[in-house]
Every structure is written in structure tokens, then in C-alpha cells.
Amino acid sequence: MDNHQIIFGDWFPEGTSFDEKRLTISIPLTNEDGDTEILTFQCGYAVCHLCGGRGYTVAIDDDDDDGIDFPVDEDHHSYNASCSCCRGQRVIPEISRPKNQDTELAAKLQKLDNWIKSEEDFRLIQLEEDDG
């Protein structure tokens, strides 16, 4: 059985694309020299981690006249908004990580893992700066 990694979310690089027919995802990664390489991976689907597969999230309604036409819970002043991660689809693409990887796939996955780690580190630094 394959291991998978959820990759769609709010922060993957601009230009990331998903081909539903081929079940592939293409991610443009730019290195330190400014060169962009497009990495393409086989993928499957996973239940959205943000909405739990509902396709929507609950948001607080701060303004009663904002024109939003979602189901509203009058007692709690909240409404259901389409999930920002899966965009209402309830599932998101995920990269397949087979146990038996060829050398090319292993190298591509390592590049992706390195990019994810650097992006996470960058976001942590930003959060620390915003808090400090």
C-alpha cells in the first residue's frame, strides 16, 4: 500500500496544478539561483484536513448586511463558507509515496521535502517576528 502526503492547501507555490484525468500534480519549485523546475507526481485523494470532508467551514458573521447567502445559525451568528482548502470539493489531491521508489522519484520527493521544510521554517520565522 502506498503512503501519501497531502499537498494542496493554502501555501503551495503559485502555478501548482492538478490534472484530474491523469491524477498528477505539477509543482513549480524555484531554487536559490532563481531557476524554476516543475516537479510532477502521481497522486490520489484524501479527505480535506481543514473541513473534515464537509466542504465548508463555519465562519463568524460580524456584519448582518454583508450579502452572504449561506445557511446561517441565527443563535450563534455564524454561517457556512466554502472551505478555503478543498474549495468545497471535500477531498484534496495528495502525492503518492510508494515504498519502492525509483531513483528519479526519490530525488524529486527529496527536492519537494526540502522545499516544504524551508517554507515551514520561513513561516515560523514570520510568525515569531509578528509576535515579537
Express each pLDDT in 8-39 by its tens digit.
555 577 788 889 899 999 989 887 788 999 99
The whole-angstrom separation of Cα 11 and Cα 111 is 17
Q: What's the CA angle centered on 120, arms 46 and 91, to 5 degrees? A: 15
> Measuring CA to CA, which residue among 66, 72, 67, 12 is closest to residue 41?
12
Look at residue 97 in the predicted model and tell me its pLDDT: 86
What integer pLDDT is reported at residue 5 of this predicted model?
Answer: 47
The sign of the CA dihedral 101, 40, 6, 91 is negative
Neighbours of 4 (CB within 10 A): 16
Q: pLDDT tens digits for 70-94?
A: 555 555 545 678 888 888 889 988 8
Which SS3 state, helix, strand or coil, does residue 8 take? coil
What percentage of the chain has pLDDT greater than the value 90?
A: 19
* Of the candidates 19, 24, 91, the residue with the CA atom closest to the CA atom of residue 51: 91
